[in-house]
Amino acid sequence: MTLRNIAILGSTGSIGTQTLDICAEYPTLLRPYLLTANRNVELLARQARQFKPQRVIIADESCYPALCRLLEGSEVEVAAGSKAITDAMSDPAIDTVVTAMVGYSGLEPTIAAARHGKVIALSNKETLVVAGELISALAKEHNAPIRPVDSEHSAIFQCLAGESHDSIDRLILTASGGPFRTLTKEQMQSVTKADALHHPNWNMGAKVTIDSASMMNKGFEIMEARWLFDIPADRIDVAVHPQSIVHSMVQFVDGSIKAQLGLPDMHLPIRYALGFPQRLKSDCRKMRISDYSSLTFDEPDPERFPMLRHAYDAIARGGNAPCALNAANEIAVAAFLEEKIRFVDIPDIVGRAVAAATFIERPTYEQLVATNTEVRQSALFLITKE
Residues that bind Mg ion (CB under 5 A): 150-152
> Which amino acid belongs to residue 161?
A
Q: State which residue, 124 or 151, has the beta carbon closest to Mg ion.
A: 151
Kindly tell me which of 207 and 376 has the beta carbon lying closer to Mg ion: 207
Measure the CA–CA gap between 385 and 301, rounded to whole angstroms: 30
Return the number of the residue (126 or 152) whose C-beta is nearest Mg ion.
152
Q: Which is nearer to Mg ion, 20 or 208 (CB)?
A: 208
Query: Residue with CB nearest Mg ion?
Result: 150
Rounded to a whole number of angstroms, the minimum distance from the CB of residue 229 to Mg ion is 15
Peptide bond into 179 cis (omega under 30): no
Q: Kindly tell me which of 214 and 371 has the beta carbon lying closer to Mg ion.
A: 214
**Cβ at position 294, least distance to Mg ion in Å:** 22
CB of 150 to Mg ion, least distance (A): 4
Residue 123: how many CA atoms within 13 Å on its side-chain side? 30
User: How many helices (H) and strands (E) are present in the chain, helices listed first?
Assistant: 16, 11
Candidates 84, 25, 31; CA nearest to 56 is: 84
Amino acid at 230: D
Least distance from Mg ion to the Cβ atom of residue 125, Å: 8
The sign of the torsion formed by the CA atoms of 133, 333, 270, 28 equals positive
Q: Give, for 261, the enclosing helix (H) or strand (E).
A: strand 257-261
Q: At closest approach, how far in Å is the CB of 77 from Mg ion?
A: 33
276 φψ region: left (φ > 0), alpha (ψ -120 to 50), beta (else): beta
